[in-house]
Structure formats: C-alpha cells, structure tokens
Amino acid sequence: MYCAIVLSIAVPLFGACMAAPMSTTSDTIVSSMPIVDLGYARYRASMYEDDGDYYLFSNIRYAAPPTGSRRFQYPEPPLYEEDVNDGSVGYACHQATNIQFKWLDLLANPESQSEDCLFLDVTVPGWIVRDQMGIFNTSVSNATITLSPLNGSGSSGGLPVMTWIHGGGFTFGEKAGVHNPKGLMKIAQGKLVYVAFNYRLGAFGFLGGKEVKAKGATNAGLHDQRMALDWIHQHIEKFGGNPDDVTVMGESAGASSIFHHLAAPEEVQFRRAILQSTASYPQYDNDILESQYRKFASMTGCDSDDSFECLMSRDGADLAEANKDAVYDTLYGTFQFGPYVDRTYVPLLPLFRLGYGTYNRDVQIMAAYNTDEGFIFSDPTVVTTRQFDALVQRHFPNATEDIIKEAKDLYPASDYRSNFRRVSSIIAEWIVECNSLYLEAAYPGTYLYRFSVPPAIHSVDLALTFWGGSPLLAKAGQTILIADNLADLAVSFQSYLVSFAISGDPNEYRLTENSMPTIYFPKSNEWPGKPMVDVGKKGFSYLSLEDDGPVAKRCEFWQNGAWTGR
C-alpha cells in the first residue's frame, strides 16, 4: 500500500510505510531484467528507473527466516533457493507503536508484515549492467550477470556502498517505503551502490531477560544488522560494489544502531558512518528487562516456568498482537523494546564505552541533530512542577535523591517557558543531542551538522535526506518545513551525504551552483571552536559546537552515568 503521512508538525516522519511501486521505462525492460547469481539464490532485478538510471534488486534474503526454531535466536545464513526470485515476495517485520504514535498503525498493512522479514534491497547504477552486458536500454534476455570488480578506493575495487538502517524506535519501520533512494542515486550520478535492509523489531528483535540470555539471542535485531552487513561483504561485488568501502547511514533508531555497533567489542563492518539524530533510550537495568520479559510472556499466556519454550511454540500472530500491546502500554515517548546492556555485544551503554575509550576507532564519522529533538518525545500533560518531578523520577528509577536534584538543577525552571519545555530539553540532550558531542570527542575530525529548518523536530530532516524519492515525503516536507527554495536546499544537502559516502569528504562532490549552494564543510578539529554546518531555512551557515557552554556541562553529567545508580 502507499504511505499516507499525516501532515502535522507534532507528528514524526520516522514511520515506515509499505513500499510503493516505482516507475520503469518500458515493458521490454521490465520483462527481461538482468539476473544476479548469489550462489545460494538467483535474483532478477525488479525495476529499472530511467530517471536516475538504476536497477533495483528487491527483497533479497540475507538470512534464513527467523521462524520456528530460529525465533529469538541469532540469524542464520540464507537457505538455498532453486528458482529465480523476482523480488515480488517480501515482508516488513512486525510493527508496533506506542500510544502517541498509534495513528501509524493506519499506515501499515498487517498482511505485509511477518516474522519472515529479513530482506534487503540493492540499487545499482544502470551503467554497470550495460558495461557488463554490452547493452543500452535494451533487452538483456534474462541474462545472469556477475559484475566484475571495478576500480575503486578499496582493496577490492568497485563502487562505494551506502547502506541505510531505518529508524522507528526499534519497534516500527522498514527498508523501503518513504526511504526511496531515487534522489540520492541521481545526485550520485552512477558513483554509488545503495543497500537497505530490514531487521527484527520490538520483542522479536529486542526481548531481554534471563530466559532469553540463557536460551536465545540477546539483542537479536542488532545481530540481524551485522548479518546484513556481512552479506554486503560477501556479495556486493556481484552488484559492482566495493565491500571495503561501505558507509552506513541511519536516523533515530537507525543511528542508534550504528552507535551501538561503534561501541561493540566486535570489529565494525563499515568504513564510514552518518548518524542523524542518534536517539538511544538507555536500557540497562536487569530488573526492568526481566519485568519486560515477564509482561510480554504473560500477554501471550506464557507465564509458566517454561515460558521461553512456550514463546517459541506460540503462533506468530499471537506474538505480534502481544508485541503491539506491550509497546502501546509504555511510558510516553519511549518504545518498550530496544538495544539493551547484555554484557556481550552491548557490554555497557554506548555513551560509556565511548567515554572509556573502548570502541571501534577506525571509522570516519558524520553526526547530526535537530534543534528541537525532544518535542515529540515529551508528554504535553506535564504542566506542573510536581508532574515534572514525578516524570524525572520515572526516567531515572535507580538514581539517588542527590543525583535527581542535580539533574533538575541543570535544567532550572527559570530557564524555560513551561515544564513541558523543561522536559523536552532534558529528553533532547540526554537521548539525542549529547550523542553527537560524545561522537565528536571520540572521533576527532568528525563532520558535524545541525538541522534547524523550522520546525526542526525529530525526523523531519528525512524529507531532505530522501528528497526526490517519495512524493509523499516531499509533500510532507513542503507542508511542514519552512525554508526558502526547499528543493534546492534538499539536493544540496543530499550532495554532502553522497559526497561523504563516495569519498569520505562531504566537499568533494557537493553542489555549488544553485539557489541554495553548499558551503565548505570543515571537520570539527579543523577550525577553533569545533565548527558545525547549520542546515537552515535560508541555506547553509557556520556555528560552533562550543558556543553553548551549558549544553556541554549537561552532557558531561549524562556521560558520567550516576543517574543509572552505578
């Protein structure tokens, strides 16, 4: 189904929608698409887009279906398939939303959701196929192609690869839908291969507790992502991509995923990373994780001693309903499930790992946040000081009274128009904004930017990231965002992202000639004051990360971690 976005500045754009069909140039091309042999399966391209000149290989299985005995377990390699797959069969992972985003349920088709959801899409410049097959917009006669490695920047050659990790609070979202790469591919002009993948969400991907640790896989959704990145390393050369030149890009939960991979004890599988609005609600308390598990098990009727075995045997539809109920019934602005400290892949919260210096260092970073990140995550019914105090206590159940007081003193009521705005400031910095500061400190020379196009709330920047792909997302952006020459601003913004993915330098291929030309993008250690690029309604300008001293002080408090009770 097509996605219908509610056009309201109070509504996030992180939501996933089922992928809409994309245009092709002729019936001849559609009926005779090239086929790529992956060894375990053969996939025919599902679409050729003349406006942008690229082929789409859709719904490629990168792992075995995580069903039956594979439920709640680590992902396994994909199974062998005899027939040629045309990408017409694929599912989004089971979706769930909390109370404030319940309307997103209207956008998701239950019939397009399944436990069997570990699929990815690959978008390949058309010239690569033509170069290999000696064709130019003519029938390729269902030919099986294996694209030879090209001359590239990595040791294996080939084109750089941009890989999208979708957001959605770790309970909602999918690889395609509004995340249409058409605009990015047009900006790249044949210099980039693009990949996007699904990963298990909600309880299916992030159920915690002692039973899961003993009998299943903790943080299974993160391991799905690693499996997808492993797939890229194994197979992307067949599409003309360079496995040694991968850039991961994600927004919100997608950026948080990257944050967790950077901080993991295992080596990362990417060379560069773009983290947009890294939204990471800390999950670290074993008692809370156990309570989440027991609550979910009870909702499915699995509250006996053999609860995990019971969950393994339940019908997937029953688990999907329980997952929706569990996510709906949670603290305002939170999503019940998400990456948590498991002492293995997530030894500590990522912000602590970066502070201690125990993280993957050999990665180029671009990091960003919006100017009003906390707005959509803050409960508008919190109007009195008593309500504010109660909410702070709920967010930090293990903190001492002195630490709670210190946290509140860092955000004095006198600095804000309302208690709602006070809550919004805490949420923005604790959950999102400070992560960019931590990344900059851990990766000197980070490329930093701030998205300030009004209303600059969480996720509205997606309208620019995927400009030119989804008409509905563009319409939402035109309705919500207040900017001069929004279309030119969008393509100039995209040119920074694409240039960074292609070359590691956002300046190399940036657009300099339109009504919203780009400006030179400095590294954070290139000029005094830790420079950032501001993406604003009148174009691009400079600001300094060190301009706001109070924010740095507050971020130090959050990275200190006393609020966890440790």
For residue 110, how many C-alpha atoms fall within 13 Å in the half-sphere facing its CB?
A: 9
Cα 548 to Cα 174: distance, rounded to the nearest angstrom: 36
What one-character-per-residue DSSP string does 417-452 give? SSHHHHHHHHHIIIIIIHHHHHHHHHSTT-EEEEE-
Cα 316 to Cα 329: distance, rounded to the nearest angstrom: 20
Side chain identity at residue 197, one-letter code: F
Cα 121 to Cα 146: distance, rounded to the nearest angstrom: 17
Cα 456 to Cα 535: distance, rounded to the nearest angstrom: 10
Other beta carbons less than 10 A from residue 2's beta carbon: 13
In DSSP terms, which residues pair with 197 in a beta bridge? Answer: 120, 165
Secondary structure element (H or E) that encloses residue 298, with its range: helix 286-299
Cα 175 to Cα 479: distance, rounded to the nearest angstrom: 24
Cα 178 to Cα 196: distance, rounded to the nearest angstrom: 12
Terminal-residue alpha carbon distance, the chain: 47
Q: Is residue 68 classed as helix, strand or coil in its secondary structure?
A: helix
Side chain identity at residue 33, one-letter code: M
For 472, residues 6+ apart whose C-beta sits below 8 A from its C-beta are 2, 3, 4, 5, 17, 178
Catalytic residue among 58, 252, 307, 524: 252
Cα 120 to Cα 479: distance, rounded to the nearest angstrom: 31
Q: Do residues 159 and 241 make contact, with C-beta atoms less than 8 angstroms apart?
A: yes
Q: Determine whether 133 is exposed, middle or buried from the number of CB atoms within 10 Å of its CB (0-12, 13-18, 19+).
A: middle
Of 232, 237, 39, 242, which Cα lies nearest the Cα of 147?
A: 237
Q: Do residues 493 and 521 make contact, with C-beta atoms less than 8 angstroms apart?
A: no
Q: Is 252 marked active-site? A: yes
Catalytic residues: 252
